Every structure is written in structure tokens, then in C-alpha cells.
Amino acid sequence: MSRFDGGRWNRILVWTGAALAWGTALIAARIDEIAPPEPTQPSEGQIASVTPQAGMPVPPTQGLVILRFTPVATPQADVITVEVGRATSSRPPAPAPAVTPQPAPEPSSSGS
């Protein structure tokens, strides 16, 4: 038996459709705001030097677009050397206690 009866499926589909339509409308409005301005032609007395900063070149009608990457040299990491030592005291270390073996206990008999 399904937890989703017909009415629940319909509500899910309606809300999903409404969310998709709302998101699409927001994205379409945002794209219209971002549209690039129309290029203006310089007058005869002005000199125009424009360097395009496009992320991708305009694709040709036929063929491939070849993008070339020039790697940048990775800078060498700074090496930091830290020496850590133990602090020594002026008194000598205490001697370890001597371990003397204990003799085994004598067996005792109950006399039986």
C-alpha cells in the first residue's frame, strides 16, 4: 500500500511545477539584466583601443576551436627549519631501583 494516494501525487506535481516556473522566470529576468550593452562606434576624432576579455572565443562555423594554456611556474615554498631539543637538568638522573629475585615459596604438605 502506497503512502502517496492520488491527491497527494497531484499536490506534489502542482507544487513542483510552480517552483520550476517561478525559478525559470527569475533566471530569465536575471539574464535580461545581464545582457551586454550595444557597442558604440567611436567618432572620427577618437581613438578606440579595446581588448576583448571573452572567456571563450567565438566558435567558427566549421572546424575546431583550439585553446592553448600557458602554465605559470609554481613558486618555490619557503623552507622553515625548527630545531627542538630537550631541556637538560644539572642533576644526574635517578638510578633505576635494583630488582632482586624473590625465592620460590617452600611447598607445604598437609600430611596426608
- Listed by start position, the domains of the chain span 1-34
C-alpha 99, offset from chain centre: 59
Is residue 73 over pLDDT 70? Answer: yes
Give the pLDDT score at 18: 96
Mean pLDDT, residues 10-34: 89
* Residue 81: all three cell numbers together: 627549519
pTM as predicted: 0.29
Q: How far apart are CA 16 and CA 10, in angstroms?
A: 10
Is residue 36 over pLDDT 70? Answer: no
Mean pLDDT, residues 62-76: 80
Mean pLDDT, residues 51-60: 64
Give the pLDDT score at 4: 82
pLDDT class for 52, splitting at 50, 70, 90? low
In terms of C-beta distances under 8 Å and separation of at least 24 residues, what long-range contacts does 55-63 make, across chains too? none
Give the pLDDT score at 106: 84
Give the pLDDT score at 21: 95
Distance between the two ends of the chain, CA-based, in angstroms? 81
Give the pLDDT score at 96: 77
Residue 11, classed as helix, strand or coil, is helix
Mean pLDDT, residues 16-26: 94
